[in-house]
Amino acid sequence: MKYVLMFIETEQFSRQLEAMGELEQRQAYEAVGQWFADNAEVITHHTHLGPAHTATTLRLDGASPVVTDGPYMEGKEVVSGFAEVEVADLDEALKLARSWPACPIVEIRPAS
């Protein structure tokens, strides 16, 4: 089955990452790179998203479309990236998500 793992940063996680020294930050990013390498056989696609302030939002629920700079809403949690995986079932996706070394929240959704 295909699932998408969405990696969600919290404000606290972002502050902790910013407060790290250069060596700690490098180690944190290396841990993420290692996670992707260790799980490459089930990851079919992945990407890191730009920061929320770089988003452009298109609202289609009014009389005419409205384009705004920035995210749809300011939130305390922001999707920072995702990985599409091909695994046997949800249990396997959960096992994979539990080993994620970075953002404190991973949302898992089936994909078709």
Report domain extents, the chain: 2-111
Q: What is the mean pLDDT of the chain?
A: 93
pLDDT at 83: 98
Amino acid, res. 42 = V
33-64 tens-digit pLDDT: 999 999 999 999 999 999 888 888 888 998 99
pLDDT of residue 75: 65
pLDDT tens digit string along 63-88?
999 898 876 566 678 899 999 999 99
CA angle, 48 as apex, 39 and 21 as ends, to 5°?
95
Q: What CATH fold (topology level) applies to the domain 2-111?
A: Alpha-Beta Plaits (3.30.70)
